[in-house]
Amino acid sequence: MELQYLPKVWKKGTDFLGTRYAILCGAMTWVSEANLVSAISNAGGFGVIAGGNMPPDMLAEEIRKTREKTPFPFGVNMITVAPNFRSHIEIVVREQVPFAIFAGSIPSGRDIEQVKSSGAKVMCFAPVLSLAKRLIKQGVDALIIEGNEAGGHIGPVATSILAQEFLLNIKEVPVFIAGGIGTGEMIAQYLALGASGAQLGTRFVVAEECIAHPRFKEAFIRAHARDAMPTTQFDPSLPTIPVRAIINEGTQDFNRLQLELLNKVKSGELSKEDGQVKIEEFWVGALRRAVIDGDIEHGSLMAGQSVAFTKKIQPVAEIIEELVFAAERKVAEMAAGNAEEIVSGHQPSFRPGLPIN
Tell me the CB-side half-sphere exposure of residue 211, using CA atoms within 13 A: 14
pTM: 0.92
Question: Dmax of the chain from CA atoms?
Answer: 72
Report if residue 247 sits inside a domain: yes
Report if residue 352 sits inside a domain: no
Distances (CA, A) of 94 to 49, 97, 103, 144, 297: 16, 8, 20, 24, 40
pLDDT for 354 equals 56
Claim to verify: residue 158 and residue 178 sit in the same structural domain = yes
- Residue pair 149/159 in contact (Cβ under 8 Å)? The answer is yes
pLDDT for 48 equals 98
Claim to verify: residue 273 and residue 326 sit in the same structural domain = no
pLDDT in tens, the chain (357 residues): 689 999 999 999 999 999 999 999 999 999 999 999 999 999 999 999 999 889 999 999 999 999 999 999 999 999 998 889 999 999 999 999 999 999 988 999 999 999 999 999 999 999 999 999 999 999 999 999 999 999 999 999 999 999 999 999 999 999 999 999 999 999 999 999 999 999 999 999 999 999 999 999 999 999 999 999 999 999 999 999 999 999 999 999 999 999 999 999 999 999 999 999 899 899 989 999 999 999 999 999 999 999 999 999 999 999 999 999 999 999 999 988 764 443 344 444 444 445 544
Domain final residue, candidates 308, 333, 350:
308
Q: How many helices (H) does the chain have, and how many strands (E)?
A: 14, 11
CATH code of the domain in which 332 resides = 3.20.20.70
320 CB-near residues (< 8 Å, 6+ apart): 21, 23, 40, 43, 44, 45
Angstrom distance (rounded) from CA 83 to CA 284: 13
Claim to verify: residue 294 and residue 325 sit in the same structural domain = no
Report if residue 269 sits inside a domain: yes
pLDDT for 81 equals 87
pLDDT for 288 equals 94
Claim to verify: residue 87 and residue 169 sit in the same structural domain = yes
Claim to verify: residue 291 and residue 239 sit in the same structural domain = yes
Does the CA dihedral 24-26-30-31 come out positive or negative? Answer: negative
pLDDT for 2 equals 85
Long-range contacts of 129-138 (CB under 8 A, 24+ apart): 129/165, 129/166, 129/169, 129/170, 131/106, 132/166, 132/170, 133/170, 134/106, 135/106, 136/170, 136/172, 136/173, 138/109, 138/112
Claim to verify: residue 304 and residue 319 sit in the same structural domain = no
pLDDT for 160 equals 95
pLDDT for 339 equals 44
Claim to verify: residue 122 and residue 271 sit in the same structural domain = no
Claim to verify: residue 168 and residue 74 sit in the same structural domain = yes
Claim to verify: residue 265 and residue 336 sit in the same structural domain = no
Claim to verify: residue 100 and residue 42 sit in the same structural domain = yes
pLDDT for 357 equals 43
pLDDT for 348 equals 45
Report if residue 264 sits inside a domain: yes
pLDDT for 338 equals 65
Domain boundaries, position 73: 6-200+315-341
Claim to verify: residue 270 and residue 185 sit in the same structural domain = no
Claim to verify: residue 172 and residue 321 sit in the same structural domain = yes
- Please count the structural domains in the chain: 2
pLDDT for 1 equals 65
Report if residue 206 sits inside a domain: no
